[in-house]
Amino acid sequence: MRDPLGPRWRRRLPLPAVLAGAVAVVLLVSPASATAPSAAPAVDLVRVGDEEANVVEVLLAGTAQLDALVATGVDLDHHVAHTENGVVAHAVVTAGEAAALTGAGFTLGRVLHRPADARERVAEREATIAGHVAENRQFAAAAADPTAPDASDVKIIRADWYTSGTSQILSVEAKWAQGQTAATPLTVERDSGPGTEFGSGGTQTISRFVDAGVYLYHRGAATVTSRPDRIRITSPTGDVAVAQVREWLPTPGTGPEGPGYQKDFVTSYLTPTELYARIHQLAAEFPRLAEVVELPYKTNGYRRHAQAVLGAATASRVAVDSLAWGHEGGNAISVELADPGAANTPLSVTVTGSAVRVTLGTDGAGAVTSTAAQVVAALNAGAGALLRAYTYRGSPGTGVVAPAPRTPLSDGLSAPASVSRDPHPVYAIRIGKHRDGSKLGVLAYAQEHAREWVPPLVTVETAERLLRNYAHDGQTKQLLDNLDIWIAPSVNPDGGHYSFYDFNSQRKNMTNHCPSTGAADFLARNSWGVDNNRNYTEYSLFDGYSGASSSCTSGTYAGPSELSEPENRNVDWLAARPNIRFSMNLHSSGNYFMWSPGAYALPDRVSAPRPTLAEESAFWGASSRILAAIKRHRNMAVTPARTGPISDVLYSAAGNSGDMLWYKYGIYAWNFEVGTSFQPEWDEAHDETMEFANGLVELMRVARDFAKDNSRPRSTLAVAPSSTPGMVTVTFSTSEPAAVFYTLDRAAPTYASTLYGSAGVREGGETLTVPAGTTVHWFSVDSAGNVENNYRPDGNGRNYRQGTAVLPAG
């Protein structure tokens, strides 16, 4: 086994100033015009007011044009398809941004996702939650109905007995009328067979299942020593429910989970507030196995200053920001630009409480003469205790302002009061029997990008699987006894809340870094924020790498400096836990599975250093295991074309977190791109959650096995008849979960060769149909990076496996 904390690169590419300059120039170049950059239009990508954003295809001639698109700083979905006719990327753009891209020579294709789709998802989520609330109310009403004195306030939904290996397990679900308000667990009394007393088979407690803040029912499983016939639950009020125990015959699992493995713990999308509530609930329920850790840096908060832009034309517009946050008085402020209706009136400002009234100056004929610059100065002088005024986007403000009725300032925020407006703590749940740093650490974190609503669900589903299966699933117990698992379901809660309640396409955090001479005004509020996946320290924009922007309104704004954002400092703090050696950064969408390097420098695509061959062996070997686990859910295959280094399969992403974790901390850092869109319909979101939670649990198993696995895999080639004349079928099998790379053209196999479509002993690999007599060269590599026969897959080694596709004699 190799030391995963072996030598690591900390060097950065020495970029001469001239190259950095060339990168900056690219930002302004239309991709169609390579010769006259000074004449090419800049791509102006500021969103305007409440203008909505769609996900739109961008049709590109090739990777050079893709690089040019990335260099505009446009907000890109994580989706890049290389087709016969070129490259198709997905951009998140408003109508104005779409026009700017078209004007710069880019070709747009279909619209794939509209805000109405996101609103439907939110409505569906609200309906699901409301349905649960209504059910609870009905049940409570029935239990309290005086005309039905037999009604119990506790109801057993199911009681299932089954065997798992040599264990017997009883799983119980029950609903209690006061489950929403009282956190009390329920006690289940078991008999020990037909005709025996309740309690003679022992007792078990079941605990509340709360999703999106709404109580659903109590649930829990426990090992039992005999098969119970009936169970009894006495509620805290004294009401009683009795039920027959059924034998449950689960379909045999094809995965490593035994029968009775509990999963499926999410019923709707969850906001960051709800995600944090969930991990707190889990830690409270499993205090010996988990704790919630508040990370050291609070966010800037789901809050904004109240603002308004008065006037229509740029030169005569007046922009106003409250000094107080909107929720702390800013939203109460109003500004009126009043025409005095009289000649020779001087410009003046009066403040009455929070009402600011500007009496505009007039000439001898009674016409308004005050310019925007004059009104700005008067406001700052007369109402400077309440607000700050400025001309629009750096305009000299020479235009005469138009009178405007009393206009309330607004922070534009629509979340209910239950969403905190204060700087928000960011939480992780730490899971493991020994949480003292002595065990190998694994980190999973999600929602760097606010609008990606499925990845956080994958993390809480995973946390809950680990905790709820510990007591009765030997595999899970192995993981928690030997690993120190950190799961941060939402590292960008402010942006996350903004995405749910205000602007569904929000990608970044909420912090406005735009200067008042730029796009700092109210109309640009949906363009602000730092791309948290571009603000890290390695191979960043600040180091001269491509795929991040210095524009405060860009979708890939890297921030004012490396780690300028609290969200990023928190991830850096997590990664600095010295025992963490594996990590997963969960994003959506595109069904990608990626690792470093994630960035290159233009114009020559000078990449961050590639992992060594041995390191790449571990990436590939572990990846194939994880992808097989994902596939197990519904046969969704992440293709080899979407597996590999970020900059190979997607595009350059300077300053991304995976690169920081790998290059700075030596962590085997992967990135999931979950699913097919940011906010898919719930049924799809649910499937994606289940399949990628399979993958994340498998990462824990990889970590668990990594330290112990010194043995090299062995593989065999099997040849069988084909129904096609002249052809035979070929399959590989391996002695342990391992990836197989093969060639059919007599070339030495490398990691660029075809990856056999299977990872493991349980999977049953794909069947290849090849001409009889084909020469097959291959090797296998396990998840610890051990390569069969100690072969070096660099194209020069010779001791790869060789075989011929001929039917065995006889």
CB of residue 446 vs Zn ion: minimum separation in angstroms? Answer: 9
CB of residue 488 vs Zn ion: minimum separation in angstroms? Answer: 15
Nearer to Zn ion, 468 or 508 (CB): 508
E strand or H helix that includes residue 654 = none
Nearest to 44 by CA among 26, 28, 56, 65: 28
CB of residue 67 vs Zn ion: minimum separation in angstroms? Answer: 19
CB of residue 688 vs Zn ion: minimum separation in angstroms? Answer: 14
Distant-in-sequence, close-in-space partners of 274: CB < 8 Å, separation ≥ 6: 212, 213
DSSP-assigned states of every residue in 534-571? G-SSSS-GGGT-SS-BS-TTSTTB--SSTT-SHHHHHH
State the residue for tokens 């907000």. 75
- Assess contact for 436 and 662: CB atoms under 8 A: no
DSSP annotation of 663: I
Nearer to Zn ion, 424 or 449 (CB): 449
Would you state the structure tokens that stand for residue 725, as one six-digit string? Answer: 């004349």
Residues of this chain that interact with Zn ion (CB under 5 A) are: 449, 587
CB of residue 117 vs Zn ion: minimum separation in angstroms? Answer: 18
Nearest to 673 by CA among 75, 80, 53: 80
Nearer to Zn ion, 289 or 646 (CB): 646
CB of residue 566 vs Zn ion: minimum separation in angstroms? Answer: 18
Nearest to 260 by CA among 482, 479, 485, 474: 474
Nearer to Zn ion, 278 or 449 (CB): 449
CB of residue 671 vs Zn ion: minimum separation in angstroms? Answer: 9
CA distances (Å), origin 50, targets 53, 94, 524: 9, 10, 9
CB of residue 452 vs Zn ion: minimum separation in angstroms? Answer: 5
Q: How far is CA 680 from the centre of its chain?
A: 13
E strand or H helix that includes residue 110 = strand 107-113
- Assess contact for 388 and 409: CB atoms under 8 A: no
Nearer to Zn ion, 89 or 333 (CB): 89
Nearer to Zn ion, 654 or 728 (CB): 654
What three-state secondary structure class fits 628? helix
CB of residue 96 vs Zn ion: minimum separation in angstroms? Answer: 23
Nearer to Zn ion, 29 or 454 (CB): 454
Nearer to Zn ion, 235 or 511 (CB): 511
CB of residue 650 vs Zn ion: minimum separation in angstroms? Answer: 11
For the chain, the distance separating the N- and C-terminal CA atoms, rounded to the nearest angstrom, is: 41
State the residue for tokens 């997607």. 650
CB-CB neighbours of 420 under 10 Å:
18
Handedness of CA 529, 534, 535, 540 (dihedral sign): negative
H runs (alpha helix) in 490-530: 493-501
State the residue for tokens 């067979």. 193
Nearer to Zn ion, 88 or 133 (CB): 88
Nearest to 482 by CA among 429, 439, 431, 442: 439
CB of residue 507 vs Zn ion: minimum separation in angstroms? Answer: 7
- Assess contact for 284 and 370: CB atoms under 8 A: no
Backbone angles phi, psi at 547, to 5 degrees: 100, 25
Class of residue 475 by CB neighbours under 10 A (exposed 0-12, middle 13-18, buried 19+): middle
Would you state the structure tokens that stand for residue 125, as one six-digit string? Answer: 């989520």
* CA triple 247-249-255, angle to 5 deg: 140
Nearest to 361 by CA among 351, 352, 377: 377
CB of residue 244 vs Zn ion: minimum separation in angstroms? Answer: 49
CB of residue 187 vs Zn ion: minimum separation in angstroms? Answer: 44
Handedness of CA 642, 647, 651, 655 (dihedral sign): positive
Nearer to Zn ion, 257 or 567 (CB): 567
Nearer to Zn ion, 227 or 534 (CB): 534
Nearer to Zn ion, 79 or 190 (CB): 79
Nearer to Zn ion, 575 or 653 (CB): 653
Distant-in-sequence, close-in-space partners of 421: CB < 8 Å, separation ≥ 6: 301, 302, 303, 325, 327, 328, 413
CB of residue 496 vs Zn ion: minimum separation in angstroms? Answer: 12
Nearer to Zn ion, 316 or 656 (CB): 656
CB-CB neighbours of 341 under 10 Å:
9
Nearer to Zn ion, 190 or 508 (CB): 508
Cis peptide leading into residue 41 (ω within 30°): no
CB-CB neighbours of 571 under 10 Å:
29
CB of residue 384 vs Zn ion: minimum separation in angstroms? Answer: 41
Nearer to Zn ion, 449 or 801 (CB): 449
CB of residue 518 vs Zn ion: minimum separation in angstroms? Answer: 25
State the residue for tokens 């990023």. 568
CB-CB neighbours of 430 under 10 Å:
21
